[in-house]
Amino acid sequence: MMRNFIKFADSLSTSVGKAFSWCIVMLMGGTVYEVVMAYVFNAPTLWNFDYSLQMYGAIIMMSGAYCLATESHVRGDVLYRLFKPRTQGWIDFILYFIFFFPGVIALAFYGYEYALFSWKVKESGWSSPAQIQIYMLKSLIPVAGILLTIQGVAEVFRSIICIKTGHWPARMVVAEETEKILMRTSQDEEQKDVI
């Protein structure tokens, strides 16, 4: 049951993360458009600053669960990596309940109220020259909290499995760091030279 939930949560988090990664392309398109309009045609837009903020906000909020699922968050593991897997599992298990869940559950719960109020008043950006509506973007706040909660439960299940077995369950490999690929390639070439 725990492994099935981990698979479900990882699939959900990576799918949402990949879908929202397209906001980077949209953000780049908007930035290029603004540069061309401002410097080539001398006609800057009013809306592009707000558009960029909304794309950045969407990327940041919706990539949290993806980063958790793929272990992409910055982690100061100077001592942690020296511990045995079971000890790491206990540390993760305890710290998720002390630090992680209170924050993400508050994000989901209060984010819902925050987004609901924003929808009721049809909130627009107060500093926006174009007065762009931002209530749709604020809807992503509770969604991000819910996704992080689901992925957090999967991480707790990972910790429990590690505590029981002494080994961390495998993760979905979405992307591999370039240095790992280069290391593997150079090792393969060294083995070919030996043969």
Tens digit of each residue's pLDDT (9 = 90 or more) over 136-179: 889 999 999 999 999 999 999 999 999 999 999 988 866 666 66
* Environment class of 67 (CB within 10 Å of its CB; exposed 0-12, middle 13-18, buried 19+): middle
Asked whether residue 25 carries a pLDDT value surpassing 70, the answer given is yes
Asked whether residue 182 carries a pLDDT value surpassing 90, the answer given is no
* Residue 30 lies in domain: 2-194
**How many domains would you assign to the chain?**
1
| pLDDT for 175 | 62
| pLDDT for 49 | 85
| pLDDT for 186 | 73
| Long-range CB contact pairs, 177-185, < 8 A, 24+ | none
Asked whether residue 7 carries a pLDDT value surpassing 70, the answer given is yes
Structure tokens of 133?
């509506």
Interatomic CA distance for residues 37 and 167, integer angstroms:
55
CA distances from 28 to 31, 53, 79 (A): 5, 12, 39
Comparison of pLDDT for 10 and 177, the residue scoring more: 10
| pLDDT for 75 | 76
- pLDDT bucket at 195, cuts 50 / 70 / 90: low
Radius of gyration of the chain (CA): 21
Residue 14 has a CB neighbour count (10 Å cut-off) of 19
Residue 55 has a CB neighbour count (10 Å cut-off) of 22
Comparing C-alpha atoms, which of 60, 95, 61 is closest to residue 76?
Answer: 95
- With tokens 């030279």, the residue in question is 193
pTM above the 0.95 mark? Answer: no
Q: Phi, psi at residue 124, to the nearest 5°?
A: -125, 160
| pLDDT for 172 | 80
By the 8 A CB rule, do 154 and 69 touch? yes
Give the least confident one: 28-32, 124-128, 132-136, 149-153.
Answer: 124-128
* pLDDT tens digits along 62-120: 999 999 999 888 777 788 889 999 999 999 999 999 999 999 999 999 999 999 999 99
What is the SS3 string spanning 103-128? HHHHHHHHHHHHHHHHHHHCCECCCC
Structure tokens of 50?
């707000």
Interatomic CA distance for residues 148 and 102, integer angstroms:
11
